[in-house]
Structure 1
Amino acid sequence: MTVETPHQRLTRNYGEMLQEIRVAQTGVQFLLAFLLALAFTPRFPEITEFQRTVYVVALLLGAAATALLIAPAPFHRLVFRRRLKSHLVTATGWFTLCGLGFLVLSLGASMLLILDVVLGTRQAVWLTMGTVTWFLVWWFVVPMVSRRHGRRHPSQSPAGRPQSGHPDAGQPDAR
């Protein structure tokens, strides 16, 4: 069995994070493109003041999500070869979590806008709350519950560290 050096572990963790971000980046880019184009549609001038406000909020949240989900690339470029890999991995984790938070809010605001146009405000609010809750459950609650239960997993020692024989035994988690 080959033992990873701390630097190799950080490099692997960063690579795994970039793979995760690629999934979210595609979604946030499509959402932002939709929102940017929406203002140039023929019916846009007819929307209500409430809908216009929701649109602006969705657009700003989408832009914030996009910035955060793309941030690891320029961050990496600016700290490249400065021996800051650990900091890069930590920052990338926070960029991703915050970006996903802004993404779910932008999705919620976008849903509210569209559902308000299609169904009216009352139904739009209820359906949007349900949709945002759905995303929050699968994106944040389920992983946190799994994380909590994972600490008591049989392959874990009482201290919460993997038992020897596991590839990550004795290595602190860099994420």
Structure 2
Amino acid sequence: MSTETEKQRWQRNFADLLQELRVAQTGVQILFAFLLTLPFSAGWDGTTAFQRDVYIVALLAAAAATAMIISPVAFHRALFRQGRKPELVRFAHRMASGGLFFMLIAMVSGVMLVTDFVLPWWVALVLSGLTGVWFLTFWVALPFSRRNWGEVDLEDDDDTPNP
């Protein structure tokens, strides 16, 4: 039996979300920085119209992911000391989920861009598809399948509300 108050639970949920966002933020910022430098690299002139289109998708998805993953910080600043932690946690949860979606798009597009540049188109398409499946397996299928495994562990309960 937990003696955690509802306020403490919301605070813990927010702290947990921030930890998760720190990990995602680093990855998406590195990808975004890489994408920002590509058009200035040697060899960019050799890209096809398709590769430039994929690049734009990857760049915009990385920008969207960055904005969504960092947005809980701005939201927290706006609501600081207003006693609205439940609202903040719900918002941060939605932004983290949306940010991961855009990160997936950016990652798969980035793989498509690079593999299409160095390999035949059909191989790039297969590898990009497999990359998408790989990410979806670890980011969606396995976590959601875990919800139905065995007994609920109350000590490691994630009380983050569903959107």
TM-score by length of 2: 0.92
Equivalence map 1:11-160=2 (5 Å): 11-147=11-147, 149-150=148-149, 153-155=150-152
Summarize the Cα distance change of 1:9–1:119 in structure 2 as closer, same or farther, 3 Å threshold: same
Partners of 1:28 and 1:62 within 8 A in 2: yes
> 1-side partners of 2:50 and 2:140: how far apart?
29
The aligned residue for residue 173 of structure 1 is: 159
Matched position secondary structure for 1:173:
coil
The residue identity in structure 1 corresponding to 2:66 is T
Identity percentage of aligned residues: 42
Matched position secondary structure for 2:83:
coil
> 2-side partners of 1:64 and 1:120: how far apart?
29
RMSD: 1.9
Kindly state the Cα deviation for residue 101 of structure 1 after the two structures are TM-superposed. 0.7
Question: Unpaired segments of 5 or more residues in structure 2?
Answer: none
Summarize the Cα distance change of 1:54–1:154 in structure 2 as closer, same or farther, 3 Å threshold: closer
> 2-side partners of 1:95 and 1:167: how far apart?
22
Summarize the Cα distance change of 1:67–1:124 in structure 2 as closer, same or farther, 3 Å threshold: same
Partner deviation per Cα, 1:131-152 (whole Å, 9 max, x = no partner): 11000010111101111x14xx
Partner deviation per Cα, 1:98-148 (whole Å, 9 max, x = no partner): 10010011000000000000102111001100011000010111101111x
Partners of 1:86 and 1:174 within 8 A in 2: no
> 2-side partners of 1:73 and 1:28: how far apart?
16
Question: Unpaired segments of 5 or more residues in structure 1?
Answer: 157-161
Matched position secondary structure for 1:83:
coil
TM-score by length of 1: 0.86
Structure ranking higher in helix proportion: 2
Matched position secondary structure for 2:40:
coil
Kindly state the Cα deviation for residue 173 of structure 1 after the two structures are TM-superposed. 2.8
The residue identity in structure 2 corresponding to 1:101 is F
The runs of at least 4 aligned residues of structure 1 exceeding 6 Å deviation read none
Larger radius of gyration: 1
Kindly state the Cα deviation for residue 174 of structure 1 after the two structures are TM-superposed. 4.1
> 1-side partners of 2:37 and 2:156: how far apart?
48
Partners of 1:65 and 1:100 within 8 A in 2: yes
